[in-house]
Amino acid sequence: MFYYGFGYFSYFPLYLLAILVVAIASSSVRSAYQKYSRVRNERMMTGEQAARRILQIAHLDDVDIQYARGGALSDHYDPRRKIVALSKACYEDDSVASISIAAHECGHAIQDAQGYFFLRVRDALVPVVNIASQLGWILLVFGLLSFSSSTSLFNLGLILLSVSLLFQIVTLPVEIDASRRALRILSENDLIEQTQLPMAKAMLRAAAFTYVAGVLSTMLQLLRIFLMTRRDER
């Protein structure tokens, strides 16, 4: 049976650490974005212009560029609709941040066109993760509220939530590879001054850190839940 005394809260520091990791990563990427969004790229290209040029170089004529719904850092690539979606700021601004982000999203489009393995795995996991993450929390709650000595519901919920961790782990190489492609394309095609390339690297490195932080945060939360169940079984 689950124990609800002081011991239940003894793993709370793990929860706080998970929140802290995400907060640091979010602060880092926003700080980098604010810094490099104020630096005008010397090619004076907007994010949209850079994205269009990159797609032309990659011969991806079937990929469209549109405004993303949402504010800053809502940029993404939609593989189903073949759309590079850029936030208004990224689409219209000619900052180092804008062309870096636009190039990164085009990196995903190139991955899609080339059948990049980890992107295919991630896309296949999306519907599974959507179901598993919702059902997992439901089973955890029922497991906590159960008066039975059995923890099967709780453990099943934990297993389902672990699918989210798998998704985040698979996402890491996808994002890192997209940034690597972006930097190479910007550099090799003279879309950015070499003196500004380190700025683009710093911008994309900060963005990649958010995915690393997401993995660490999820691992810490699952570890906390796991340790709680093991303690209660003793």
Q: Please list the active-site residues.
A: 105
| Cα–Cα dist 203/155, whole Å | 39
| Cα–Cα dist 215/147, whole Å | 32
Amino acid occupying residue 113: A
Residue 107 CB partners (closer than 8 Å, separation 6+): 177, 178, 179, 180, 181, 182, 185
- E-strand stretches of 26-122: 64-67, 76-78, 83-86
Tell me the torsion sign for CA atoms 58, 201, 25, 229.
positive
| Cα–Cα dist 131/118, whole Å | 20
The two structure tokens encoding residue 232: 């209660």
